[in-house]
Amino acid sequence: KAGVTQTPRYLIKTRGQQVTLSCSPISGHRSVSWYQQTPGQGLQFLFEYFSETQRNKGNFPGRFSGRQFSNSRSEMNVSTLELGDSALYLCASSWDRLTGELFFGEGSRLTVL
Amino acid sequence: KNEVEQSPQNLTAQEGEFITINCSYSVGISALHWLQQHPGGGIVSLFMLSSGKKKHGRLIATINIQEKHSSLHITASHPRDSAVYICAVKDMDSNYQLIWGAGTKLIIKP
C-alpha cells in the first residue's frame, strides 16, 4: 500500500513568486491536512480537507490556500512568497478525521530567497 | 497557556533506561496522537489513543481522559530511539483541529 506522497520534495523560489505543493493521500483516505514546520514556530496547522470540503483553516494569511480533488489528492498554494515562508510543509492523511491514525508524507521543503 | 503541554522538553538518558514523556492538555478531545520525528526526517505516527493503553514493541502509551493526561513510555531504550516525540490532540471545540505539543527531544547515549 503506497504511503502519502508529497511533491516536489525540495524547491527554491524567490520573493514574490508563487508555489503549488501536491499531496496524494493513502488510497481510501478522504481526510488530508497540511502543516508548516519551522525551527522557530514548530508545527502549525494550515488546513484540513475532507471529501473536497475545507473543514478547518489555521491562522495563516490569505496568501495560503488549498483545495482537494475528487480523488482526495490535495494541493496547497502560496502566493507572493515571503522569506518567512521558508519551511517544511507536511501533509497527513487519515481515513477518519476524528479518530483516524495519521499518516504523514516526507514533506516539501521550500526555500524562499 | 498552551492547550497541549509536554514535559520534559529535553531528555538525555543512557541506553537501557526506562523513558517517560508526559503530555497534558486542556481541551476536550476525540483522540490523542503520539508521533516521532527523527532529525531531518518525516513524522511517523506511533499511537492514536482515545482511551486506555496501547503497546507496540518497546513503546507503551497511556491516556487518562478524566485527568487529561497521557504518557509515552519507552522500555530498554536504544540510541535509535533518539528523536523528537510529539503529542498532538484532536480538539473537539475547534472542529477537530490537530493541536500540537512543542515536542520532547530525546537523546539516548550508548
Q: How many CB pairs under 8 A join A and B?
A: 54
Q: Taking CB atoms and an 8 Å limit, are A99 and B102 in contact across chains?
A: no
With a CB cutoff of 8 Å and minimum separation 6, the contacts of A1 are: A26, A27
- Contact criterion met (CB < 8 Å) for B96 and A98: yes
**pLDDT surpassing 80 at residue B17:** yes
| CA B23 to each of CA A54, A56, B33, B40, B85: distance values in angstroms, whole numbers, following the listed order | 29, 24, 10, 24, 10
Q: d(Cα B70, Cα B63) in Å, to the nearest integer?
A: 4
Partner B contacted by A12 (CB < 8 A)? no
Q: Across the interface, do B90 and A99 touch by the CB < 8 Å criterion?
A: yes
CA distance B46 to B78: 16
pLDDT of residue A1: 61
A107 touches B at CB < 8 Å: yes
β-sheet bridge partners, residue B18: none
pLDDT of residue B1: 60
B87, closest residue in chain A (CA to CA): A43
Say what the pLDDT of residue A96 is.
85
Single-letter amino acid code for the residue at B92: M
Looking at every residue in chain A, the average pLDDT score rounds to 93
Taking an 8 Å cut-off on Cβ atoms, the answer to whether A104 and B44 are in contact is yes
Q: Which of B35, B50, B95 sits opposite A55 (nearest CB)?
A: B95
Contact list, A33 vs chain B (CB under 8 Å): 98
Nearest chain B residue to A97, by CA:
B96
Shortest alpha-carbon distance between residue B26 and chain A (Å): 18
Q: What is the mean pLDDT of residues A45-49?
A: 94
Judged by CB atoms closer than 8 Å, whether chains meet at A43 and B86 is answered as: yes
User: How far is the C-alpha of A72 from the C-alpha of A25, rounded, in Å?
Assistant: 7
Q: How confident is the model at residue A39 (pLDDT cuts 50, 70, 90)?
A: confident
Residues of B in contact with A55 (CB under 8 A): 95-96
Average pLDDT over residues A51-62: 93
pLDDT at position A43, please? 87
Cα(A106)–Cα(B12) distance, integer angstroms? 26
Distance from CA of B86 to the nearest CA of A (A): 10
pLDDT at B2: 80
CA separation for the pair A80, A78 (Å, rounded): 7
List, for residues A69-96, the tens digit of each pLDDT value.
999 999 999 999 999 999 999 999 998 8
